[in-house]
Chains A and B, each alone.
Chain A
Amino acid sequence: MRKKLLWSLLASCLFFGTAMAQNSTVNGRVTDEKGDPIVGASIQVKGTKVGTTSNNDGVFTIKAANGASLTVQAIGFETKTVAAAANLNVKLVTDVRALSEVVVTGFGGSLIKKELTGNIARVKGKDIEFMPTASVDAALQGRAAGVFVNSQSGKLGQAVTVRIRGNSSISASSQPLYVLDGIPITSQDQSTYGGDMNPLTDLNPNDIESIDVLKDASAGAIYGSRAANGVVLITTKRGRAGKTQITFNLQSGQSEATKRVRMLNSTEYNELALEAAKYSDDQEDIPYDDPYSYTQYMKDIMSYHSYGQWDKDKAKSYDWQDQAFQTGQYRQADLQIRGGNDKTKFFSSFQHLDQGGTIRSNELSRTTGRLNVDQKANDWLDLGVSLSLSRIYNRRLPGDNAFSNPLQAAALLPMSPFTDPNTGLPTGTPPGDVNVGIYFNPQIQIDYAKYTQDVYRTFGNTYFKAKLLPGLTFQSEFGLDFLSQNEERYYQTQAVRNTSSPRGEGVNTGAFITNYNTNSYFTYNKLTAKHNFAATLGMQYQQSQAKYNSTTGTDFPSNSYQKIASAATKAGGSSSQSDFRFLSYFLRSNYTYDDKYIISASGRMDQSSRFGKNSRTGFFPAVSAGWILSNEKFLSSNKYLSFLKLRASYGLVGNSEIGNFPQMGLFTGDAGYAGNAGQRPSQLRNDDLRWETTSQVDVGIDFGLFNNRISGEIDYYVKSTDGLLLNVNIPATTGFSSMVKNIGKLENKGYEFVLNTQNLVGAFKWTTNFNVALNQGKVTDIQGQVIEGGVGSMNRVQEGYAIGVYYTAEWAGVDPANGNALWYKNTKNADGTIDRSTTSIFNQATRVVTGNPNPDVILGLTNSFSYKGFDMSIFFNGVLGNENNIYGMGRYSSASMRYEDNQTYDQMARWQKPGDITDIPQARLFYNNGAQISSRYIVDGSYIRLRTASIGYTFDSKKLSKFKLEKLRVYVSGQNLLTFTKYPYWDPEVNADDFDSNIAKGNDFYTPPQPRTILFGVNINF
């Protein structure tokens, strides 16, 4: 992409560089700081139109008058002016100023940020390289304004929520489209158990040259019906002409869970439980010593679940939560080789990662290799291939809402010992009493069951690019993305209480996704003194086919047999297939006049197999314009203001991620009964179904001050989505609960602010990158639909509010007189006012909006320092103004002994006698006193986190040369080192996997917290 710009520069030089007088010949070479040649740098004799460019070795020849100055320019480097001399060696310094950056626009396009009229945020591969972030989407967190990332949990390889400029759909996916080197890749979950996994883990983040996030409609329209959630263009590293560079990076370290929640110990539990039982006995007039009293029940429970140990020692206590956690080991080795000559250039890499989770039994390993080769066949034809192979092994955890989720051990009684004193095996393991432990002991799952996932992923791409005429090229590329996945679960006989399969249970599933894509397009560039015109015209076709199968077997001869071949009963089996296809034509053009006025227009026509026969084709146009004021006379001499551009864009984009075949009326043949096949009506028909359409207006200012040492962007956008692909609720009396229709509207409005500063530029360098985004989402019309999700169906889509707001009774605390839980009635009075009186009868309280899982503000702040060999980088990210829902665990464990579950420590502050002022109601065994769904369980989820920090030292290259080393850097890096939050449970950055949907966000259900990782690394260049 960069090459093309240079090529047009070259063209301009040739056009205008012929008429001048020439005196003597200058021979020179342009290199970067490291001495590597810079290819295609432009060299111009100052004050003339004489110019040339450097060749593949950085060498150039130019004729210049004696005493003349040469201006040497290359993209990505600061411009330098040197005096002409016979033999010149020009060393250019990398330009770290953001305005000189080049961003990728898709389909072979690229633009200097200065000339951009849309909104594209770029994350450089360098910024995320060698960080303990296993996937590219997680790496975006806090680094691009307006891109909200939530890593959901501390489980390895799990799905990550990414929202670009808010949530723009209710029923269709709100995740962005990921395009890797031109191919839209499979990024949806493929797992069958234990929460969503993340197919982006299959890509080695260290292979990435850059990530460009297309945020506004003018940038995204070229991806048409797939761009409404934003597009993430991932470009991998490619070869460079020059010396072959070999980089070896090794890092090793440890992870720990970031937090524990204080639960009750045996003494505390005993006190609270018996107090709660006493209340319930009193309530029902049962004598405490009655064998069927609550008190006796509770004593029996504590005795039974401690193997009688509690009768002897009431203080003996076991911290079950601690059993869930472990120290995870992290080891990663990377090898990258990069090089080439003027004909052939290559980049290759190899990585092996071994990562132990902070939750016991969780582990992930990744082995990847990549080879990217570019070949210049002749003066008009370039060819290339890239191929990446990877294998991911993930020993996964059960979903959050499973008794076998290790963190659910926190609910077990503190008097339950870890091991059965009779057998020495984990509590609840047969042949001991399997019912000891008030719930299934997750330890048994860890020891006697296994859930593994193997993924084999291939990304391949081949292209050719022909120069047809000066300025006109044709490029065609063919890409493929193969994902093969095998999952195996095996539960030994010991896990019978969880599986109900006393003789073992095994499950084996496969997913095979083949995804082909071709792009073919013409590109035209014409550059004259005042006019710069570029256009792209082309087509794209994508087809994806997913095949799935699964087999379940039970009754194994012994625990030594763990494959389904040995299962006496093949208890279940299934196979299925699903396809989708897209055919698209697109056009994009840019025109710049006199480096001041820029206009750009693009459009895409999309056809898809996913939509109704009456509405198969959609058109997505966009226009944008920019005005570089700083190039106008009245500003060009301003001392402080070095750059100022106003820009605006408007366009339409779509969202078609509603799954395959949503438009068809269907019967499904899965309704067999007792061994006989059956069918059932499964989906209602909608021939008019089409994409959601999002129109977006974006206005922005780009500015640079003090020779662009300070630069920034300010954006305001309004994103309106119409014709939502909605799973519209219909009366269940029809036999269906919902059907997909284009109904409803929503809106996201927001500001984005980016500031990049070079605070110190001398030997001691200090740069700051700051971004902050404010987004307000609002559902404006869903035609009265009630759409709910999440834990306790507390997340709701409500007109006038953001998607997924919590809709609950409003908690009013505890009645000091009697310890009753109270709620605000919030019913409407006859005069239209709201009754704010409180009630202890839950059904009298009306539900109201009590919180929002979507943040108001997201921000990222990076400070980078370097001095001589030292470098340091500190990166904070923050998410503010959102609420989380802790009802998942709260209803059991912060619930005044609603159930026998161990309670969180805050429950000790319960109401005990009249006059007590507290927010914790009286403990009442098996009574609902405040454990109902209310805003009591909606808590502040804001946080600011020291996400990553690294400090490194690079040894002096002169000293290294005798060891044949070019560079040696040692470093320490850390992740999630500090978190500032008021959140009471484990981790405010949470999203319980078993409940996750567009609507259901911010739920915590014994969700494992993020790991805190510290790594030591060494990076060597040969």
Chain B
Amino acid sequence: MKIYNKTINKYLIAILFTSVLATACEKRLDVFPTSSISDSKALLSEGDVLVTLIGTYDGAQAATVYGGDIMVLNELIGNGENINFTGTFAGLSDAFKAQMTTNNGNATGTWGSSYSTINRANNVLSALDKVTSSATKKSSVEGEALFLRGSLYFELVKLFAKPVGDGDYAANPGVPLVLTPTGNVSEADYKARATVKAVYDQVIADLTRAESLLPSSNGIYATKWSAAAQLSRVHLMLKNYAEAGAAANRVITGSGKSLAVDIDKNWFTYIYNGGTTPGEYLFSMKMTPQDGTNALNTYFGRTISGISGSAGRSDCKIKAAHFTQYETGDKRKDFFVLSGGNYYTKKHLDRFGDVPVVRLSEMYLTRAEANVRSNTSVGATPLADVNAIRTRAGLPALTSITLAAVLKERKVELAFEGQGLPDAKRLQNNVGLLAWNAPNLIMPIPQREMDVNKKLVQNAGY
């Protein structure tokens, strides 16, 4: 019986061992991520909504969005006249040559990141009822989300759809409009392109409401004036000159901002200004060493010995032809640096500089253009507005004003800030050898998007 007992003991050990392990383990299968949280717990309080709003700014700050690519593309596409693009990024190189294919990496990137940001804004807008601390806080949160959503739809429709004025914009396809946050993906999430007009209507609705909700000052975030400035651009695009001028006038008179005395003060945010946003900026994306990539710097910038902190890939070399547009004595003509036999704009040398989305001097030029076109003097005479910009640039004041003079001033003042292509399209000016409405000045709907969503139609020429 001794053997029997020993066997029993051995059995007991084995059975105990197994059962202890088995019961101890079963509960352990519920593990959760540590740097992410469940979507069901993400938007329950005011704090949750506020951090999602920050997340929306973060989305807009992506290099492919307002981190700079949108501006870069709006300067680069077809712009062989002013720029010699020698970079190797095929997406930009093909954009520069106006030889984009449907796989263009920048088309895919900017499209995707913009919609990702829009989804974040939609999440904020869906949870506004959680913002209960004050009505002003709630207004501000809603206004900021609407401002970002409206701005991005405006950028998307400019890049990916036919310009206003080419055919019937109420019939031309714009971009899909998504106005609610994505939960479970269903057939309804496979959206067709809304018309260009429908997109513009949404943009105007978002920005108008944003302007009414936003506070006058809001730190580094969007203000009433950011929305109004963006709205002036939208109306200019739609040739609603009176509304454009009025919006610009609201900014100039209401924002309390004034033109910087020296154009240098508008740049080198980080290198010389310790990261302070220039006073003339109405909206910009902040870049810090911890966060964000300034894509304007990436492609237009260059490491210049003597400017510590300057950086960039030296991809956008400014052609001599560009300088013929400046008058002698124009300080802006000197705002270039010669390095390695090529000229580079000084606007984007600062690696951690703010990426300006819109600044005050444009409002003067927009108001001037609107007033010249409508033969009005809303806010000020167009001559006074243009001269304000000219004298700041060290040029003599004009004595009379023409539309051409306003547009010329606009071109040199805003050079390489992302207004080149939209201005050419709305003014119906040729881009190099291409007509303003050439299909290859419009970005293709990304191939992956065409492949996955059969309701989309591709742009002409792709």
Q: Which residues of A contact B (CB under 8 A)?
A: 291-292, 297, 300, 304, 380, 430-431, 433-436, 466-469, 474, 476, 496-497, 500, 502, 518, 520, 522, 538-539, 541, 543, 554, 569, 571-572, 576-581, 583, 607-609, 616, 660-661, 664-685, 729-737, 739, 785-786, 788, 792-793, 842-843, 891-892, 899-900, 926, 928, 932-933
Contact = CB atoms under 8 A, between A and B. Distances in A.
A537 to B, nearest CB: 10
B367 interface: no
Interface stretch (B113-121, B246-254, B259-267, B419-427): B113-121
A735 B120 contact: yes
Contact of B34 (A539, A541, A576, A891): A576
Interface residues of B, number: 97
Contacts, number: 264
Contacts of B118: 735
Contact of A679 (B40, B52, B312): B52
16 contacts: A434-B303, A474-B14, A502-B311, A520-B17, A607-B29, A608-B29, A609-B31, A665-B40, A666-B39, A667-B52, A678-B58, A680-B55, A681-B181, A683-B36, A685-B39, A734-B119
Contacts of B353: none
B54 A671 contact: yes
Contacts of B22: 539
B37 A430 contact: no
B398 interface: no
Contacts of A520: 14, 17-18, 21
Interface of B: 6-7, 10-11, 13-14, 17-18, 21-22, 25-26, 28-40, 42-43, 48, 51-59, 61, 84, 86, 88, 90, 94, 97, 99, 101, 103, 108, 111-112, 115-116, 118-120, 122-123, 176, 178, 181-182, 184-185, 189-191, 220, 286, 288-292, 302-303, 305, 308-309, 311-312, 314, 319-321, 339-341, 351, 446-449, 451-453, 461-462
Closest 9 CB pairs of A and B: A735-B119, A678-B54, A671-B55, A665-B39, A667-B42, A786-B451, A500-B311, A678-B55, A474-B14
A842 to B, nearest CB: 7
B54 A785 contact: no
Given A541-B21, A571-B289, A733-B191, A666 B178 contact: no
Nearest to B302: A435
Given A673-B291, A675-B288, A734-B178, A616 B29 contact: yes
**Most chain A CB neighbours (cut-off 10 Å) among B33, B36, B191, B305:** B36
A577 B35 contact: yes
B316 to A, nearest CB: 14
B14 A928 contact: no
A842 B101 contact: yes
Nearest to B18: A520
B182 A497 contact: no
B303 A731 contact: no
Contacts of B302: 435
A304 B120 contact: no
B462 A843 contact: yes
B97 A928 contact: yes
Contact of B448 (A538, A572, A609, A786): A786
B35 A680 contact: no
A74 B69 CA distance: 73
Given A435-B340, A469-B7, A581-B28, A684 B17 contact: no
A788 B305 contact: no
B226 to A, nearest CB: 15
Contact of B115 (A572, A683, A735): A735
B189 A729 contact: no
Nearest to A547: B34
B278 to A, nearest CB: 15
Given A380-B6, A502-B308, A681 B42 contact: yes
A583 B29 CA distance: 8
Contacts of B94: 928
Contacts of B103: 792-793, 933
A502 B89 CA distance: 24
A785 B314 CA distance: 39
B55 to A, nearest CB: 3
A497 B303 contact: yes
B184 A684 contact: yes
Contact of A731 (B38, B97, B449): B449
Contacts of A572: 289-290
B110 to A, nearest CB: 10
Given A539-B22, A732-B116, A468 B36 contact: no
